[in-house]
Copies of this chain bind each other. A is one copy, B any other.
Amino acid sequence: RPEFALELGQKAMLVTGHSSMRRAGVLDRVVGDLKNNGVDTLVFDKVVPNPRASTMDEGARMARQEGIELVIGLGGGSAMDTAKGIVLASTGTKPIWDYIGTDIKVSGPLLPLILVPTMAATGSEANGGASITKRETREKAYIFTPYMFPKVSIIDPELTLTVPKKQTATGGVDIFCHAVEGYITTQEPSMVNDGIIEAVLRTVVELLPKVLDKLDDIGMRTELSWASTIACSQLIALGGGYGPRTCHSISNFLGGYYDVAHGDCLAAILPVWMRYTLPVRAERFHALG
């Protein structure tokens, strides 16, 4: 890990949340490793679920003021997305919310980004997208741009060993939704791509109940980490064989309005969506088996 970092910058901002903080071992080890390899680290630990536009703006301002050369996101989807938002917003002086819905252009240099997921869930480490919530107006949006694509992502399933039961479960639901939504809604299925998505779904369905009984099993945690990363990479939409993510879109409204955690939203939406979608997409449910 530290070797990658030094090539990218000597002054890093480490973006993480309070709950990651509590897993003190990990944070201390990362900061220590970076220091031993010549990288100074500023810890920015203000990340919350449904990550806030205001947090990203604060981080971006600090990154500019402190002359940060490298941004590292360590944690779940919220930490990674906040790190992405900081990278994008720190290229200029306008707030992150202003980038939504526009043809995204940056006016200044882009800080390199390293992402280190500590949960198998959002797969944010494998794409250039981020969720952003504006608490004042109870809105939640999603932006996507190659500017927020990580330079390096370090997927280490050992970091997921201490994720508690409930977050492990909702993380699994998130992975399942990433894979199943487009599978069901696609208008142009592809044989190779169907097989890849089915591999992810089969892994979650078979392993999730087992891992909940044995949270420290590194083998199963590793499989879930791979499933998570693939489910949110471009692989899942190979050749266009992937439709819209309906549950995720609905979830943005719930998350924005009620500030409910992403995985909880999805767990509530998924069964209802399946019943609603079944009659019109019966052949895709059938293909799923």
Contact = CB atoms under 8 A, between A and B. Distances in A.
B195 A196 contact: yes
A207 B191 CA distance: 10
A192 B226 contact: yes
A103 to B, nearest CB: 18
Nearest to A224: B192
Contact of A190 (B195, B200, B223, B239): B223
A127 interface: no
Contacts of A227: 192
A191 B196 CA distance: 11
Interface in A206-259: 206-207, 222-223, 226-227, 230, 235, 238-239
A148 to B, nearest CB: 21
A40 interface: no
Assembly stoichiometry (copies): 2
A20 interface: no
A117 B203 CA distance: 33
Interface footprint category on A: 20 to 34
A175 to B, nearest CB: 11
A202 B190 CA distance: 12
A91 B270 CA distance: 55
A238 B230 CA distance: 10
B196 A202 contact: no
B195 A226 contact: no
Contact of A203 (B192, B199, B202): B192
A203 B191 contact: yes
A186 to B, nearest CB: 14
A249 to B, nearest CB: 26
B239 A226 contact: yes
Contact of A195 (B199, B222, B239): B199
B238 A235 contact: no
Interface in A155-198: 190-196, 198
A227 B193 CA distance: 9
A222 B206 CA distance: 31
Most B C-beta atoms less than 10 A away, residue of A192, A195, A200: A192
Contacts of A235: 235
Contacts of A196: 195-196, 199
A223 to B, nearest CB: 5
Interface in A52-100: none
A202 B198 contact: no
A111 B126 CA distance: 28
